[in-house]
A = this chain, B = another copy of it.
Amino acid sequence: MKQLNSWVNDANSSLLTDLYQLTMLQAYWELGMEQESVFSLFVRRLPENRNYLVAAGLEDVLRYLESICFDQGALELLRALQLFSDDFISWLGAFRFTGDVYAMKEGTPFFENEPVLEVVAPLPQAQLVETFIMNQVHFQTLAATKAARVIYAAQGKTVLDFGLRRMHGTDAGMKAARAFYIAGVGATSNVLAGCEYGIPVAGTMAHSFVQAHDDEMEALRNFTKVHPQTILLVDTYNPLEGVKKVIALAKEMGEGFQVRGIRLDSGDLAQLSVEARTLLDEAGLENIRIFVSGNLDEYSLQDIFRADAPIDGLGVGTRMGVSMDCPTVDFVYKMAAYEGKGRIKTSPGKETYPGQKQVFRQEENGKAVFDILGQWGEEIPGRPLLSLVMEKGRRLAPGDLKQSRAHCTDALSRLPEQVLGNEPAKPGYEVRISPRLEQARRECVRQYAGKLQ
């Protein structure tokens, strides 16, 4: 870790954890508590404004688990904290993740109590990695879910991610672009995300380009000279006057006019798009597409398309980028077994199910009807959603973003309609507990009751 800069990198990500993971680690190590444990990552209850969630972030988790270690720089930093014994710090120098991971594919819709990921590993290993796993899966799942809702509301129109500037930091900018793409977003404005993940990039001009000119017409003309097939932003001063200037530019340029579209970024977008479409069509510019942006989300899109606005593409920024109506979900990473024994929490409202689990999705005529949460290895009909993705610390197959995207589209198309829309589904999608799993939970409670007197 020669360069300890403001960003997290592969060399220092082992320290991107909560201090208590390390204090517990020292205790587990000193106490010799290194037997196999099972931890489940799941959401206890769906937020009121989410009928489903879309799993994302697994790829970054697996990369982290494959590479996690404490190099000399990390060990020096820990020593300087004066909280840990020298022997423990030496032991950390040899720390590697050697466990198994079972997970849902990225892009899988899931529901309450369903593990999206389970770690089966020696207790210290499974414990240490909690914070990073949560940090990545929580946010990417939020982002993929929000995007899936926006895309559903967009009724087939292209959705573009414009959110980088107001996302929470640089990593959010990258990971959201990735999660959005899994959920079906068509392109991102984030150049680095486009380059890294192979996502199409989109974007043309801002108001400042127009403002830098003394005259709006000259600005549009100038931009078109440099980028002939561009989308022109028309609302710096007055949207419809801007549209008229694009029409004038088309006349001026004649055959050379190749502009692909216009963008409206303020005002009543539904109404303005109708008026702009009329102006453009009357001028014979039927091929010019209309893009809109500005405070868009699944709710405003529902209104826009209820009004049947002639809009071809949508630039969606902040509200999708921070999952504004739901900036967090109650993901937890809970111990489900240790030393072969089921472990649960019994606090009211925080009950958990013991042991390694599987989710079986029940389908009728190609549509999901309910899920069954059962024990791993149980024989239950239906589509099993979790599979072994990492064995003894090595991943079994590389991730493929385009495959995740295709999987997500397919899996969402199998969900009931009332789950996909903006309104809370009542009743929500049902998750049944298998009799064997319920039985195992009761046995756990009984054993605990004996001890808690």
Contacts and interface: CB of A to CB of B under 8 A. Distances in A.
Interface of A: 3-10, 12-13, 15-24, 26-28, 30-31, 33, 37, 39, 60, 63, 77-78, 80-81, 83, 123, 127, 130-132, 134-136, 138-139, 142, 162, 164-176, 189-192, 194-196, 201-209, 211-212, 214-216, 222-223, 225-227, 230, 235-238, 241, 266-267, 318-319, 321-324, 327-328, 331, 334-335, 338, 343-347, 350, 448, 451-452
A27 B226 contact: yes
Given A20-B205, A226-B31, A235-B347, A211 B335 contact: yes
Given A4-B195, A23-B227, A139-B168, 12 more contacts: A6-B63, A20-B206, A22-B191, A30-B225, A31-B222, A33-B212, A135-B173, A166-B331, A212-B338, A212-B343, A215-B451, A322-B328
Among A173, A205, A212, chain B packs the most CB atoms within 10 A around the CB of A212
A8 B236 CA distance: 33
Given A23-B204, A222-B27, A164 B335 contact: no
A343 B171 CA distance: 33
A399 to B, nearest CB: 11
A209 B27 contact: yes
B190 A16 contact: yes
Q: How many copies does the complex hold?
A: 2
A222 B33 CA distance: 11
A191 B451 contact: no
A9 to B, nearest CB: 6
Contacts of A167: 135, 139, 168
A10 B226 CA distance: 30
B189 A19 contact: yes
Nearest to A6: B60
A18 B165 contact: yes
